[in-house]
Amino acid sequence: RKEVEQDPGPFNVPEGATVAFNCTYSNSASQSFFWYRQDCRKEPKLLMSVYSSGNEDGRFTAQLNRASQYISLLIRDSKLSDSATYLCVVNMESGGSYIPTFGRGTSLIVHP
Amino acid sequence: NAGVTQTPKFRVLKTGQSMTLLCAQDMNHEYMYWYRQDPGMGLRLIHYSVGEGTTAKGEVPDGYNVSRLKKQNFLLGLESAAPSQTSVYFCASSYRSDRVGAFFGQGTRLTVV
């Protein structure tokens, strides 16, 4: 079982729609969580950190549920340019260091 | 400010050949990582380093070696390339704090024939 699990999708939504992705993680001691965006054949780029109280950045909202060990990403008013793969990242403890561990990603396709 | 730079961007190797991938960062980050990305597998950690002169194994270290002689550079070596090592390789770096995310290089597309 992978330590960070995501639904690979694809999520196919029309412009303007609201879409949400979930990600579950196995290590309850994990402290730091992130969402990255990866465009086709490009490197992953940090989209936003996920804080315990939840946080918002424009059309994007990230939330953390420690009890159920999952994080979520909500995208409102989807744009064509939001089409990408969204990677869930959990910093897992390893020998006193915290190492970014990636989910396999969720593909989002926004169509006109 | 270049961020994280990987060289080369593309390479084709024959089975059994060796090569070194170079990662350089100019952000004074303590941590550096090498990942490989294969279709359907996501990013998997090969090796990582938490500081100059230190390295550690990740999830898929077999067939690779690394060195971090200088803080800004992290080298990934393939001593005897195999077709199973055909992949996209990403280097990343981050600050020591686990509260911040990592920054990635543009990737190296390696094909082993």
Nearest CA in chain A to B99: A32
Q: What is the mean pLDDT of residues B21-27?
A: 97
Helices and strands of chain B, counted as H and E runs: 0, 11
Cross-strand pairs, B11: B110
Q: What is the mean pLDDT of residues A12-34?
A: 92
Q: A51 vs A14, which has greater pLDDT? A: A14
What is the per-residue pLDDT for B43?
94
Which one-letter amino acid corresponds to residue A61? T
Q: What is the mean pLDDT of residues A22-28?
A: 90
Structure tokens of B83? 């077709």
Is the Cβ of B62 closer than 8 Å to some Cβ of chain A? no
Q: Which of A32, A89, A97 sits opposite B50 (nearest CB)?
A: A97
Q: Which of B41, B98, B104 sits opposite A104 (nearest CB)?
A: B41
Question: Which residues, 6 or more positions from A39, have their beta carbon under 8 angstroms from its beta carbon?
Answer: A84, A85
What is the per-residue pLDDT for A93?
82
Residues on chain A touching B58 (C-beta within 8 angstroms): 99
